Amino acid sequence: MRQHPANRLANESSLYLRQHANNPVDWYPWGEEALRRARDLQRPIFLSVGYSACHWCHVMEHESFENPDIAAILNEHFVSIKIDREERPDLDHIYMTAVQMLNQGQGGWPMSVFLTPDLKPFYAGTYFPPDDRYGRPGFPRLLRAIADAWNRRRDEVVHSAEQITQHLRQFSQDHASDGTALSEDLLRNALTYLSRVYDPTHGGFGTAPKFPHSMDVRLLLRLWRRFGSEQALHMARHTLEKMARGGMYDQLGGGFHRYSVDARWLVPHFEKMLYDNALLAVAYLEAFTATDDPFYAQIVRETLDYVQREMTSEPGGFYSTQDADSEGEEGKFFVWSKAELVQVLGADAEFACQVWDVTDEGNFEGHNILSRARSDEQEARLLGMDLVEFREKLADVRQRLFAHRERRVKPGRDEKILTAWNALMIAAFAQAGAVLEEPAYTQTAQRAAEFVLSHLRAPDGRLLRTCGIGQPAKLNGYLEDYANLTDALITLYETSFQPRWLRTACELADQMLARFADPAGGFFFTSDDHEELIVRTKETHDGSTPSGNSQAVTALLRLAVLTGREDYRRAAQSGLEAAAGQMRSSPASIGQMLLALDLHLGPIEEVVVVGSPQHPDYAPIWRRLRGKFRPLTVYAGHDPALGQPPAEIPLLAHRDDGGSVAVYVCRDRVCAAPLVGAEAVTQTLG
């Protein structure tokens, strides 16, 4: 395919858009130039939405957007706009809803939507092949039919677009409270539902393809704690173990791929997303504190070490994704032949083949995806090896294979930095730094937070959505940017007890309330001065990441306890009430809000530690506190050597160190006597 001159996408910040810069399609980025041209020419808009790590997005580009004949149809009859869904989730949410409305609830990427010049959708789908196949019309035939309908039956098309838009507006407004009570019944109902869709053989929920439901796993841990449900604990543990031993987890380099195409977590869709690894790191970390199983801590470390190695920029911000493909083949970087293992490992190849289930035939298109059918203990027994000896050999073999793999052509990496996704990873590193006592993780979280606040925050305090290294930030921040970062900064405060993180969290929460809150309850996806679109949406269902509404409620609940501010508590309760009906009717789609409900129902435990970090009792006390699963606990701390505690944290008022390190515990507005010294904490809190 000959190289075409660069189009308008060549200088975009999005890797996904730049990947289309040499297409013969006359692409526009979303903006006034494209929208004005559609209005002036009275042409329909072809809106193509995807992201850089999307395999089928690349397939459609190669088959259709690089095809001069198809490009000629698009250029003659349409104004073609390319959007990166990760930069513009506001547009993605609106038009994906239209895709699902028009396709019996089915949607995905690449997303292909046809709009009137005033941005109203009238036809929508996902991937279209270059000719009739897979039960789908060929893209050229579809384009000609849509162009013909626009030219010959425009009134019908416009009428259909008006109807679809009315449905979108109705859908976006259908989030008012229905009177469902905020009670434990909603949590019991969620447990019943998750038990019904749970896969008892392979873990996880539903059938193939299987996605890592990190919010649901974290919810199960809370349901175990609240109701004493051993079934909930088993479902969470089984799911986490199967995911981490399957091919969806990178057995050599750490970190999770996007999802599994089969039911047993073996064959992944090979892209790696920053947000998946952030959310799963927290789920495994909580499982570690709930069970004391070091396997979960190992997965956390390997995952975060992968992020530090592969996904962290020099200035500290986190990159977005790694592609599924390398050298034009999906998964090529990650798979192995048995002969290759023999070449790399020699006499140790048989050991590796047994551990990672490698065969001559392979398990993926003639190659092998590495996976673990058994634990270290089970494998050592089968091999007749001491466990320590087995692990030493495993580490050696793993490192040799990893070093060999590093010489391969790596998958592409999308190096744009997104505020919301960075916030999720900041929270993961901060929490892991505290629980695992890893100062390097805490430092990584702090550097990333400083990067976001210095590069993705405007002088007036507003957040921006995205930037690249050396590129200016752009696009108004969305609800999830504010909510995720507010929550992350609270976690960073609870790790370091530096008041600046909490002050900034409050500033962001105040902006969130002023610019996103809906008087009817909950929050809009876009701010009140955002670009005017056909719908101002409210998103409460979780997708691959927690919804902005759920994260906002979670952060406000935590801030309300730490600061004593009633406006935060009221806003959080209003958001919960607005989502109560959905928590009842579709608990699997609103897991983060159910986590927030669990916190709201409490009883919340307030733990304040006063003392010097240099005191010999300080670290053992925190090890005791953080080493247990305490999902309803909010932490505050102060070193008296720094002077008076900050006034905006009333939990710290009138608290001293008792001559050592003192721990103050209050539950449900009732405070116990202070515990002074590590021995007192151990005896009382276990």
pLDDT grade, residue 3 (50/70/90)? low
**pLDDT at residue 332, as a whole number:** 95
What number of other Cβ atoms are within 10 A of residue 505's Cβ?
A: 24
pLDDT tens track for 426-449: 999 999 999 999 999 999 999 999
How far are the Cα atoms of 13, 16, 529 from residue 52, in angstroms, in the given order? Answer: 12, 4, 29
CB atoms within 10 A of CB 66: 18
- The structural domain count of the chain equals 4
In a domain, 1, yes or no: no
Q: Both 86 and 167 in a single domain?
A: yes
Bridge-based pairing state of the strands 417-418 and 464-467: antiparallel
Give the pLDDT band (50/70/90) at residue 669.
Answer: confident
- pLDDT, tens digit, 9 for 90 and up, residues 534-558: 999 998 999 999 999 999 999 999 9
In a domain, 357, yes or no: yes
Residues 6+ apart with CB under 8 A from 435: 285, 288, 289, 626, 627
Average pLDDT over residues 100-113: 92
Report the share of the chain in percent with pLDDT over 90: 89
159-171 confidence digits (pLDDT tens): 999 999 999 998 8
Residues in the chain: 686
Give 20-34 pLDDT, tens digit per residue: 999 999 999 999 999
Residues near 404 by beta carbon (within 8 Å), at least 6 away in sequence: 344
pLDDT band, very low/low/confident/very high, at 7 (cuts 50, 70, 90): confident
Which of 407, 437, 452 lies at the terminal end of a domain, its last residue? 407
Instruction: Clarify whether residues 127 and 146 are in a common domain.
Output: yes
In a domain, 7, yes or no: no
Residue 91 lies in a domain: yes
Q: Is 580 a residue whose pLDDT tops 80?
A: yes
Q: Region 266-279: what's the mean pLDDT? A: 96
CA distances for 49 relative to 28, 88, 96, 323, angstroms: 12, 9, 9, 17
- Condensed to tens digits (0 to 9), the pLDDT of residues 516-531 reads 999 999 999 999 999 9
List the CATH number of the domain containing 541: 1.50.10.10
- Run of H or E residues at 383: helix 376-383
178 within some domain: no
209: cis peptide before it, omega within 30°?
yes
List the CATH number of the domain containing 137: 3.40.30.10
Task: Specify if 494 maps to a domain.
Answer: yes
Confidence band for 482, pLDDT divided at 50, 70 and 90: very high
Does residue 9 lie within any of the structural domains?
Answer: no
370 and 317 belong to one structural domain: no
pLDDT above 90 for 685: no
Which residue shows structure tokens 């003639």?
Answer: 366
Q: What is the pLDDT of residue 174?
A: 58
The last residue of one of the domains, among 544, 566, 601, is: 601
Ranges of beta strands (E only) in 429-501 are 464-467, 474-476
Residues 261 and 322 in one domain: yes
Give dist(CA 244, CA 251) in Å, integer. 8
The mean pLDDT value of the chain amounts to 95
Give the whole-number percent of the chain exceeding pLDDT 70.
99
Last residue of a domain, one of 173, 196, 226: 173
Q: Which helix (H) or strand (E) holds 280?
A: helix 274-291
Task: Dump pLDDT digits (tens) for 43-81.
Answer: 999 999 999 888 889 899 999 999 999 999 999 999 999
Q: Is the same domain home to 362 and 308?
A: no
In a domain, 2, yes or no: no
Are 338 and 322 in a shared domain? no
* Chain segment 404-423, per-residue pLDDT in tens: 999 999 999 999 999 999 99
Collapsing DSSP to helix, strand or coil, 588 comes out as: helix
Cα–Cα dist 620/605, whole Å: 20
- Does residue 573 sit in the same domain as residue 504? yes
Considering the domain architecture, whether residues 593 and 654 belong to the same structural domain is answered as no
Burial letters 114-130, b for 16+ CB under 10 A, else e: bbbbebbbbbbbbbbbb
Is residue 209 over pLDDT 90?
A: yes
**pLDDT greater than 90 at residue 398:** yes
Contact 177, 168 (CB under 8 A): no
Distance CA 474, CA 463 (A): 9
Query: pLDDT by residue (tens digit) across 302-341?
Result: 999 999 999 999 999 999 999 988 888 889 999 999 999 9
- DSSP secondary structure string for all residues of 89-117: HHHHHHHHHHHHHHTTT---SSEEEEE-T
Number of H helices, E strands in the chain: 25, 20
Mean pLDDT of the region 551-566? 97
pLDDT of residue 464: 98
In this prediction, residue 343 carries a pLDDT of 97
Answer yes or no: do 263 and 370 share one domain: no
CA 675 to chain centre: 38
- Same domain (yes/no): 49, 126: yes
Q: Residues 449, 584: one domain?
A: yes
Residue 354: give the domain boundaries. 334-407
Same domain, 470 and 596: yes
Q: Which of 11-20, 28-37, 101-110 has the highest mean pLDDT?
A: 28-37
Tell me 15's DSSP state: H
Residue written as token pair 């329909």: 44
Q: How sure is the predictor about 1, in pLDDT bands with cuts at 50, 70 and 90?
A: very low
CATH number of the domain encompassing residue 660: 3.40.30
